[in-house]
Structure 1
Amino acid sequence: MKLLLIAAVICIHTSGFLTTAKTRCEPLYNGGRGGTERNVKSRWSFNSRTNHCQIVMVKSGCHPHNNCFPSEDDCEQHCDPWVLEFEKQRTQV
C-alpha cells in the first residue's frame, strides 16, 4: 500500500499539474476593495497552506483567475490537487 502511495505521489509530482494549479490558485484572495456593506458576499478561495478551499468575504467583483470562486465546488475543481488528479485520471480512461 505504501509503495502504491509513493508511486502516486511521484506521478503527480512529475505530471506538472500541481504547478498549473499553483499559478491559478495563489495567493489566497484578499476580498477586494471598495463596495458597501450591502455588497459584501461570500466566495471561495484556495488556501495553499492548508491545501483546501476556504470561504472569503468579498467586497467587489471576483474572478476565478484571481483565485476567487462562487462556490466551494468551483474552487475545488480548479485548485484542489486531489480533485485535479482524479479528473485527469477519469478523462484518460
Structure 2
Amino acid sequence: MTRLERTGRLAAIPAGYALTSLITAVLVRVMPVRAVEAVSIAFLSFFAIYATMIVWAFGTRRIGRLWIIWGVAAALLAGYLRLPVAGTVQ
C-alpha cells in the first residue's frame, strides 16, 4: 500500500462521517413519518451507515474511485438539502 493510498483511507474517516451526516439529513427529510420519529430513525441508522462507509473505505482496492463516488454523492445530497421544503416559508 502506497503512502497516498494509506492517507486516502485515513482521510476517509472524517469524510465518511460528513457523508453519513448528509445521508442522515436527507433521510429525515424524505421519511413519511412525523418529524420526531424521522429524526430518531435517521440517527439510529447513522451508526450502521457510518460503519458501512468505513468498512468500504478500508476494504476497497481503488481508493480513487471511492473518493469520486463519495464526492458525487455528497454533491447530490447537499444539492437536495438546498431545495426548499414543501409547506415552509422562506
- Given the two structures, how large is their TM-score scaled by the length of structure 1? 0.26
TM-score (norm 2): 0.27
Relative to its length, the structure with more helix (as a share) is 2
Higher relative contact order (CA 8 A, sep 6+): 2
